[in-house]
């Protein structure tokens, strides 16, 4: 698999620094990374874009580094934010980081010949004094250079603290450390990270006289222009406790017909040939294409068992053949899912049993 060509046909290539494509073709394997700040209790399907980028990078024969932002999560990235972030406590960030790490291990291979490497950038800074940071890190870039980046420039009207202003330095220095320790010469991310990533390539050029590269993906939006990964209820989480597998499945099934081609290219592990064949076979049936993607992603993100459960719940809610036997077969968790999707109320069990002449089995 040619990584750049794979991103091209999927529509996942937004920008890259000069020479990146040639370098990737001439060197294999190479090491590249993406950073994740643990500011939420779980990954979302918005994060899944970058997870897919790492997965495709690994499938292309390269070695990915997953950089967890134990340090940068304590600062807050100002990129495309119109106001200052509310800082999370260290304890909350540590819990989030541990949970998100387990989630990532479901999707990226941490064993094998090009096994992924897991790094926490808190290890880079926890023993560094503020004076060392200002001398060794803060001296690299001028304020003029930093203010020219969109992540900072867009916040000048509403205000930006020194804390968030310094985020760019931390991300840039992360890249330099990974370059030194792991010969990591590529950083990837969303297009909103372009400024931070190229600051890292500048760090490597100035401080160690090295050459590093950047690749970004487009920010994925829906056909109506709204933000991808949001529903009327909020985020679509990868944690089944926050977004049930049923709701996760329904998100894809209810996607706009105009979005399904892009969503499939971003998130499927099927080949270009398979995708184009399915699109040809079901050109007049976009719901079938959405169902195929919904099934694939529900199985991958949750499990085969979760998908089977989703089908049972769907049959109860929408099927024409559901009967009492089917209702008896569903689990307590599935019943709760059903109760969350339709109007429900509580009845006194003994009174109900008396009225209908049936005794419910104890659960």
Q: Does some domain include residue 362?
A: no
Is there a contact between 152 and 160 (Cβ–Cβ < 8 Å)? yes
**Does residue 14 lie within any of the structural domains?**
yes
Same domain, 194 and 284: no
Return d(Cα 310, Cα 3) in angstroms, integer: 34
Residue 225 forms part of a structural domain:
no
Structure tokens at 160: 């930006």
Which CATH number do you get for residue 158?
A: 3.40.50.620
Find how far residue 186's CA is from the centre of its chain.
Answer: 19
Task: Judge whether 252 lies within some domain.
Answer: yes
- My answer on whether 177 and 241 are in the same domain is no
pLDDT at 363: 53
Within a domain: residue 18? yes
Which pLDDT belongs to residue 318? Answer: 65
Q: Are 187 and 295 in a shared domain?
A: no
Answer yes or no: do 132 and 237 share one domain: no
Residues 160, 241, single domain; the answer is no
State whether 269 and 142 are in the same domain.
no
When divided into structural domains, the chain yields a total of 2
Q: Which of 217, 242, 263 is the last residue of a domain?
A: 217
Residue ending a domain, among 184, 217, 250, is: 217
Count CA atoms closer than 13 A to 229's CA, side-chain side.
15
* Residue at a domain's end among 151, 184, 217: 217
Are 211 and 237 members of one domain? no
Q: Which two tokens stand for residue 103?
A: 């989630």
Q: Do 145 and 9 lie in a common domain? A: yes
CA 120 to each of CA 68, 114, 117, 126, 136: distance values in angstroms, whole numbers, following the listed order: 5, 19, 10, 11, 20
List the CATH number of the domain containing 294: 1.10.240.10
Residue 17 lies in a domain: yes
Residue 7 forms part of a structural domain: yes
In this structure, the answer to whether residues 199 and 322 fall within a common structural domain is no
Per-residue pLDDT, 79: 80
pLDDT, mean of each 10-residue run, the chain (363 residues) = 96 97 94 96 95 98 97 88 85 97 97 95 96 94 89 82 92 98 98 94 97 96 82 85 94 95 97 97 97 98 93 73 56 57 65 73 63
For 239, list phi and psi in degrees, rounded to 5: -85, 120
The reported pLDDT for the residue numbered 76 is 87
Instruction: List the structure tokens of 162.
Output: 């020194």
Q: Are residues 268 and 148 in the same domain?
A: no
Asked whether residue 201 falls in the same domain as residue 239, the answer is: no
What is the dihedral sign for C-alpha 42, 44, 47, 53? positive
- 102 with 239, same domain: the answer is no
| pLDDT at residue 348, rounded to an integer | 77
Instruction: Note down the domain range covering 71.
Output: 3-217
For residue 222, is it within any domain? no
């Amino acid at each position: 698999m040619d990584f750049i060509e794979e991103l091209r046909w999927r529509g996942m290539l937004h920008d890259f620094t000069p020479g990146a494509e040639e370098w990737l073709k001439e060197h294999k394997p190479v090491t590249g990374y993406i950073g994740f700040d643990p500011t939420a209790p779980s990954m979302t399907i918005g994060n899944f874009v970058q997870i897919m980028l790492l997965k495709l990078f690994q499938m292309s024969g390269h070695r990915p580094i997953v950089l967890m932002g134990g340090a940068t999560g304590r600062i807050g990235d100002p990129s495309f934010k119109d106001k200052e972030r509310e800082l999370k406590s260290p304890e909350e960030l540590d819990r989030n980081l541990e949970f998100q790490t387990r989630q990532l291990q479901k999707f990226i291979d941490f064993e094998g010949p090009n096994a992924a490497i897991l790094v926490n950038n808190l290890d880079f800074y926890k023993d560094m004094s503020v004076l060392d940071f200002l001398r060794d890190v803060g001296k690299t870039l001028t304020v003029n250079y930093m203010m020219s980046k969109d992540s900072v420039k867009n916040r000048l009207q509403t205000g930006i603290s020194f804390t968030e202003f310094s985020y760019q330095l931390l991300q840039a220095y992360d890249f330099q450390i990974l370059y030194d320790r792991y010969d990591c010469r590529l950083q990837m991310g969303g297009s909103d990270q372009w400024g931070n990533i190229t600051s890292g390539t500048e760090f490597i050029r100035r401080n160690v006289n090295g050459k590093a590269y950047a690749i970004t993906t487009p920010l994925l939006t829906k056909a109506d222009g709204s933000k991808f990964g949001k529903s009327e209820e909020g985020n679509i989480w990868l944690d089944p406790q926050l977004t049930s597998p049923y709701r996760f499945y329904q998100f894809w099934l209810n996607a706009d017909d105009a979005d399904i081609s892009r969503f499939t290219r971003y998130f499927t592990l099927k080949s270009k040939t398979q995708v184009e064949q399915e699109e040809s076979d079901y050109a007049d049936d976009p719901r079938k294409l959405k169902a195929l993607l919904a099934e694939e992603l529900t199985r991958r993100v949750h499990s085969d068992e979760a998908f089977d459960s989703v089908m049972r719940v769907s049959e109860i809610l929408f099927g024409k053949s559901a009967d009492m036997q089917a209702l008896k077969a569903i689990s307590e968790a599935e019943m709760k899912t059903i109760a969350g999707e339709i109007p429900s109320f509580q009845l006194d069990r003994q009174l109900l049993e008396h009225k209908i002449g049936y005794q419910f089995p104890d659960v």
